[in-house]
Structure 1
């Protein structure tokens, strides 16, 4: 059975974040990129699994929190460096994910 449509953004951003962390480690030997990518990507994928199950509110809340942390961290990095890749792109994607998951969490709130 395919996951519900509302889980796709969490799975998609989670996979991109995980792959981006691995790419940062491979290209620049950045352990911080690897750690952040694995942790944040893993949390987003876990939130997608929760959304697919019976924990829609908790899954969207976890995805919103993770996206908020990513938006804050990479937004700060983008302002500091002015580099579009990866900081600017991750900031924009994280803000969009934050807005989406907050909206969905409010829909599922008891």
Structure 2
């Protein structure tokens, strides 16, 4: 399980959610929060992918992914507790909680597994 395989779709999901929130309700906060964090996650996923192609781990990307997912878990859990709305707060909090756990697992296990070089 490589982090960028989950991070890039997760980031894109947040970008789309932010854009939809802006389109439906005119929410600048939704656009900035969703699209902003989503784009940062896509960037971190891309950095991790590039490092993997160089047969390395990008701990910067992994720490950035973890920090964003943990922040989103906290913020969206607070919003869910205030509004009791599953969409989007509860859903984003749940997905972000799972992603935070995944990233912590990757950190604890030394990042992405780099397969041995084949000749």
TM-score (norm 2): 0.83
- Structure 1: which 4+ aligned runs deviate by more than 3 Å? none
Q: Structure 1 CA distance, aligned partners of 2:34 and 2:43? A: 14
| Root-mean-square deviation (Å) | 1.4
* Greater helix fraction, Structure 1 or Structure 2: 1
| Displacement after TM superposition at 1:9 (Å) | 1.1
**In the comparison of the two structures, how many residue pairs are matched?**
106
Larger Rg computed on CA atoms: 2
Runs of 5+ unmatched residues, structure 1? none
Tell me the CA shift for residue 65 of structure 1: 0.3
Aligned partner of 2:114 in structure 1 is: none
Question: How big is each residue's C-alpha offset from its partner over 1:2-57, in whole Å with a ceiling of 9 and x where there is no partner?
Answer: xx833111101100000000000000000000011121001110110121122432
Q: CA deviation at 1:70?
A: 0.6
